Amino acid sequence: MFPNFSPRALGIDVPFDEAVQLASRFHYGGIDVSIAELQQIAARQGISAIGEQMTRAGLRFGVWSLPVASAADEVTWRRELAELPARAELAKSLGADRTSTPVSPASDERAWDENYRFHLERLRPVAEILAAHEVRFGLEWIGPKTLRDATRYSFIHTMEDMLQLAADLGEGVGLLVDLFHLFTSHTDVSAVRGLSNAQVVNVHVNDAVAGRSADEQMDLERELPTETGLTDVGGFLQALDAIGYDGPVTVEPFSQRISQLAPAGAAEAAANSLARSWQLAGLKWPAAADE
């Protein structure tokens, strides 16, 4: 596994080349990207220009956010689905072989069974396109009880149930495992040891807000990993190491304090929190980040 930089997760809005510079400056091993932005760059400069820039910076691709909104109206969903093969082909050519998306844990419109069928119908064509282009697809469950309490019908909000949806969607579909969502769904980090590397597509690390129980946490209010100590980031990384996880580990704090920093300040704070997390786990800091 490698420390990964996601500008969007830190509230940073910079173009690809600046994001690459930040990732290199603060010794990340990889970077999340927008596949739509890379399409534009490839059209102007050629695909090779992207790969060359990543190679010069010593970076690998983390994930690209799935550009298909499964819960959108049908016209929007079909349009975005039609655009996906070209984007997946670009990703394949670049070696950007991971994408992921969250799944809402509740609905005001559909009860559980209907909602499950809805997600199978919307996500199966996505999964088939991605599999055909050798891109792995991670699904993220959302844990906070506060979200479900404010909505009429509950839906998938645990690792176990998301594993079932992933299995039902077929080849190449696994999980985005977020430490905050493990905590808020009352799942011990040791449960990760029961997964395989093939089942874990993407990983987010963060901490919960102090003074709140797991059931009182708010989805878009989190801290940097190691900041409050409510989530067990050391045990989490140890579990991932034990299963041979070889993908990105990304800081996603949803912290107003971090998002108000200058891009370099936010990138540095997240990188430092990752280094502390590796230290807590007793793991060797990746060589790519030491150079």
* 233-248 pLDDT tens trace: 999 999 999 999 999 9
Token pair, residue 104, equals 């809402």
Instruction: Provide the pLDDT for residue 290.
Output: 43
Mean pLDDT calculated for residue range 52-67: 96
| Rounded mean pLDDT, 42-59 | 96
Average pLDDT score over the chain: 96
- pLDDT tens by residue, 213-267: 999 999 999 999 999 999 999 999 999 999 999 999 999 999 999 999 999 999 9
Strand, helix or coil for residue 32 = strand
Q: Which domains does the chain have, with CATH numbers?
A: 2-289 (3.20.20.150)
CA torsion angle for 69, 32, 94, 19 (degrees, to 10)? Answer: 120
Q: What is the pLDDT of residues 165-197, one digit of tens each?
A: 999 999 999 999 999 999 999 999 999 999 999
- Check pLDDT > 80 for residue 287: no
Residue 241 has which token pair? Answer: 């190491």
3-state secondary structure of 184: helix
pLDDT of the residue at 291? 44
Nearest to 221 by CA among 231, 234, 210, 237: 210
- pTM recorded for the entire structure: 0.96
Q: 171 vs 182, 202, 207, 223, 264, CA distance in Å?
A: 24, 16, 32, 34, 39
Q: In angstroms, what CA-CA distances link 51 with 4, 58, 91?
A: 17, 10, 11
